[in-house]
Chains A and B, each alone.
Chain A
Amino acid sequence: EPEVTQTPSHQVTQMGQEVILRCVPISNHLYFYWYRQILGQKVEFLVSFYNNEISEKSEIFDDQFSVERPDGSNFTLKIRSTKLEDSAMYFCASSEGAGGTYEQYFGPGTRLTVT
């Protein structure tokens, strides 16, 4: 069964450093997402991406964040200058289409620890 994959599974970085989290969405899916979950808190939407551009973003997704689809399979989230409060699980998700009847499938996540 096709699945979303993410690398690395765990990333430790120092405050102020840049990190890139990588995702390979399900191959026939057209919409890609990043969510995050701070320990003990709810899953929060960051950004959605379609046709090589951001289609929706949350207030969390400020100028320190960017997303890119550098090739035909990868989808990346870059955090330019990490802060302690960026420590969280970051989940990539993908769906065939957008809107209510399309399921979003989540990858296993990357645990980001900022020290």
Chain B
Amino acid sequence: QKEVEQNSGPLSVPEGAIASLNCTYSDRGSQSFFWYRQYSGKSPELIMFIYSNGDKEDGRFTAQLNKASQYVSLLIRDSQPSDSATYLCAVNRGAQKLVFGQGTRLTINP
């Protein structure tokens, strides 16, 4: 079982709609969860992180965490073409390293 799993996509969403990206993790000791955006050929760019069960909102982005289900998601409201990228879920188990998923490729269609 992979430590961090994401659907590789591509996920196609019309402009203005809500994009929903999902991630599951295998280690129940995982403590915090990060969402990064990566444009093709570029480095990961931090969007937000969450470590408590429930929702956390930052602008158009909402992260949701359910530790019982070992599930974390990212919602992007009012999707824009500039949101088209690969979204990386990363997990920290309280140490220093981040464990990344494969990423979900998101395409926003005008």
Contact = CB atoms under 8 A, between A and B. Distances in A.
Interface residues on chain B, size class: 20 to 34
B94 A100 contact: yes
Interface string A80-112: 000000000101000000111101111111000
B51 A100 contact: yes
A9 to B, nearest CB: 11
Contact of A42 (B43, B51, B103): B103
Contacts of A31: 96
Interface of A: 31, 33, 35, 41-45, 48, 50, 55-56, 58, 89, 91, 98-101, 103-109
B32 A101 contact: yes
Point out which of B49, B96, B98, B101 has the most chain A C-beta atoms below 10 A from its C-beta: B96
B9 to A, nearest CB: 14
A56 B31 contact: no
B96 A103 contact: no
B100 A99 contact: no
Contacts of B100: 42-44
B60 interface: no
Interface of B: 31-32, 34, 36, 42-46, 49, 51, 88, 90, 92, 94-103
Contacts of B96: 31, 33, 48, 50, 55-56, 98-99
Contacts of A55: 96
B102 A58 contact: no
13 contacts: A33-B96, A33-B97, A41-B102, A42-B100, A43-B90, A43-B98, A48-B97, A99-B94, A103-B49, A104-B34, A104-B46, A106-B44, A108-B43
B95 A107 contact: no
